[in-house]
Structure 1
Amino acid sequence: MYMYHVLVVDDEVYTVKGLQAGVQWDKFDISSVHTAHSAKQARAVFEAHPVDLLICDIEMHQESGLDLLEWIRRYYPSTEAVFLTCHSEFSYAQRAIQLHALDYLLKPVKYEALEEVMKRALEKIKESKRLLQVLESHRSKALAISNGEVGGMPSVTVVEKAKQFIDEHIGQQDLSRVDIANSVFLHPDHLTRVFKKETGMSLSNYLQVKRLELAKELLTHSEMPISDIALTVGYSNLSYFSNIFKKHTDMNPINYRRNAQSHSPTG
């Protein structure tokens, strides 16, 4: 039996504690309920643990729940999401739908209502995992035959092929963990474990590093507008790209370009 993993995110500590105490988690096949009080903490949980279901507040300091789900959809698209909010605003609901959130509940949340939504979410996750397992099983036969192997492809080859696929598709805005896993005929969770074991780096971090490396090359050796560079390396949101770039280089893209080109031989 598969046991599910849940992440509850809210910058109000008492709300998180209330959900921990009020929801009857033991009614479901849930093995862990992780908690976070910011989008940053939530991303750290995703990097360290599997997360099947996200229960998240929309209005949080610095980054909203919608910002968090946009990141999740990029790197962990199979995670189901349920939003909580104090305000019934159409713009929130519209964006939540665009990001394929399962549902949208108003605070104060009735625990029974949340449990009903959770039941639907976990049933959907269960069916998705069943289909993926069937698909993986069929592809892993096919793979052994094509390679002339009985035991399947060595993990190091899987990682190298995954890296090659990333290099060839780095500019795709919707390039996801599922896409990469499909390219090497593995379940996304299995590829994530193999990739981390072989490289010491999570798959999502590696993908981000490769995007930023390409961005640096384009900033240094081309005159492409920064908005076009963001799109070329897979970021549709220029502000998000700029924030990620500055976080990793301590410079925004404009200053990085000026600095890099002033020190280049042709500058």
Structure 2
Amino acid sequence: MYNMLIVDDERYAAEGICNCYDWESLGIGEVHTAFSAEEARVLLTERDIDILICDIEMPDEDGLSLVRWVKDHSPQTESLFLTCHSEFDYAKQAFQLKSFDYLLKPVDSSELAGVVSQMIRAIEERAEKARSAQLVQKYESLWSKQQPKLAERFWQDLLARRILTFGDFLERALQDAQLTLSPDAYALPILVHVEEWLRPFAGRDLEMMRYAVQKAAEEVLLAGQPGQVITDRNGQLFVMVYEQHAGAHEFTGAERWEEACGSFAASCKELFYCRVFCYVGYFAPLHDMPGLCDGLKELQHTHVAKTSPVLVYSAEMDAAHGEKEKNSFVQQSIQFIKDNVEEDISRDDVAAHVGLNPAYLSRLFKKETGVNLIDYLIETKMNRAKQLLDTTDMTVSMIAQQVGYSNFSHFTRMFRKRFEVNPQEYRKH
């Protein structure tokens, strides 16, 4: 319900407006009257007045002066002027004061009620806009708090190879994380490793010191550069420096971060009582980040001398690591096929197991082994079937099931294609 105040130095006029209409039917719960600007100020100070109906000409202080005061002290109040005079100057001043309307006395009660209804709608619209603004502000605040978590989860999933980087999968993942990076953006990863705590921290103190190192990495290593400090799923701390359009020269341009990392390591020793080592990568496309970050972790594990707090990971190191990683994917695929020969597995199942795109895994497998992945899968199953035919009395249909074929005819065709005889003929020989 709304509160309305009627101000007129003529008592009968104020009371007439008060009683001329069923104001409650419009949602007005209280109707107050004042017979001077001074009385009106008292009421406006003591109560929340939503609607002010005010005469302009009054003996001690006119309505225009009162409304000026209202604009400063009760800005949420909507004002309506009533007057016996039609002077243009009054209307002009009322307009300048942004009063809701300007009506001439005597005013018809239905006309007045119509204007008051409009004032109520304006108040409701303003309140709705205020609520919407507060809601937007609330969610913007929540978003600002949540966004770093979403960004960190994106990087955790990307480095764990849980995000496909072909097609529009990467773009959708970036959008879900509310990151402004494009799929074609570049990043330079820096692995920050606390090698040793120089004081015996434990429990909450240790967590606080780890947090301090993370925040210092953000301030010193990013230093205003777009980027993110994240902890991967294995607890490793990475600083990811963003670059939307990296040139070819920036693939080996990590030297500019060496000095910053050296200063950061020295600060950590002095302020946080820990020995920190930084392993600096180079700018590369987002889809190369999993391999590059794995290379940094391998460099950290093999860094035995510990003579310098900063090591730069070269493109040559990455190439060697890449070859090793590719061989690892192929070996994982071979082992998965051997371990699941009795299952109805496909190329997609193998690819999902090693976390690669099926087409890419097929090309990689062919390059490393000289054999198509599908052909190797079928050959492994057929060799196992041949072994079972040689060493067991199992029926051919049972053997087909043992190597993952529910369709007996299909199994027979594959066996004939591989050994040029069907399973029954092979067993007879």
TM-score normalised according to structure 2 size? 0.32
The residue identity in structure 2 corresponding to 1:139 is: Q
Q: Structure 1 or 2: larger strand share?
A: 2
Contact 2:15–2:33 (8 Å) recurs in 1: no
The residue identity in structure 2 corresponding to 1:116 is: G
The equivalent of 1:118 in structure 2 is: 116
Larger Cα-atom Rg: 2
| Aligned-residue CA RMSD (Å) | 1.9
How far did 1:40 drift?
1.0
How far did 1:110 drift?
1.2
The residue identity in structure 2 corresponding to 1:73 is: K
The equivalent of 2:359 in structure 1 is: none
Structure 2 residue corresponding to 1:100, chosen from 90, 98, 106: 98
SS at match of 2:79: strand
The residue identity in structure 2 corresponding to 1:59 is: E
How far did 1:141 drift?
4.8
Identity of aligned residues (%): 41
Q: Distance in 2 between matches of 1:140 and 1:15?
A: 46
Structure 1 residue corresponding to 2:76, chosen from 38, 54, 78: 78
**Structure 2 unmatched ranges of 5 or more:** 147-429
How far did 1:139 drift?
2.5
Q: Which of structures 1 and 2 has the larger relative contact order (alpha carbons within 8 angstroms, sep 6+)?
A: 1
Matched, 1:133 2:131: yes
How far did 1:26 drift?
2.4
SS at match of 2:49: coil
How far did 1:143 drift?
5.4
Residues 22-58 of structure 1, C-alpha deviations (whole Å, 9 max, x = no match): 1221220111111111111111111111111110100
Structure 1 residue corresponding to 2:48, chosen from 40, 46, 50: 50
SS at match of 2:4: strand
Q: Distance in 2 between matches of 1:31 and 1:19?
A: 15
What are the equivalent positions in structure 2 for 1:3-82 lying under 5 Å apart?
A: 3-82=1-80
Residues 52-81 of structure 1, C-alpha deviations (whole Å, 9 max, x = no match): 111010011111100001111112222111
Q: Distance in 2 between matches of 1:54 and 1:21?
A: 16
How far did 1:99 drift?
0.2
Q: Distance in 1 between matches of 2:12 and 2:145?
A: 55
How far did 1:16 drift?
1.1
- With over 3 angstroms needed to count, the CA separation of the structure-2 counterparts of 1:143 and 1:41, relative to structure 1, is farther
Contact 2:6–2:14 (8 Å) recurs in 1: yes
- With over 3 angstroms needed to count, the CA separation of the structure-2 counterparts of 1:89 and 1:27, relative to structure 1, is same
Residues 86-134 of structure 1, C-alpha deviations (whole Å, 9 max, x = no match): 1111000000000001111111221111011111111111100011012
SS at match of 1:5: strand
What are the equivalent positions in structure 2 for 1:233-244 lying under 5 Å apart?
A: none
The equivalent of 1:109 in structure 2 is: 107
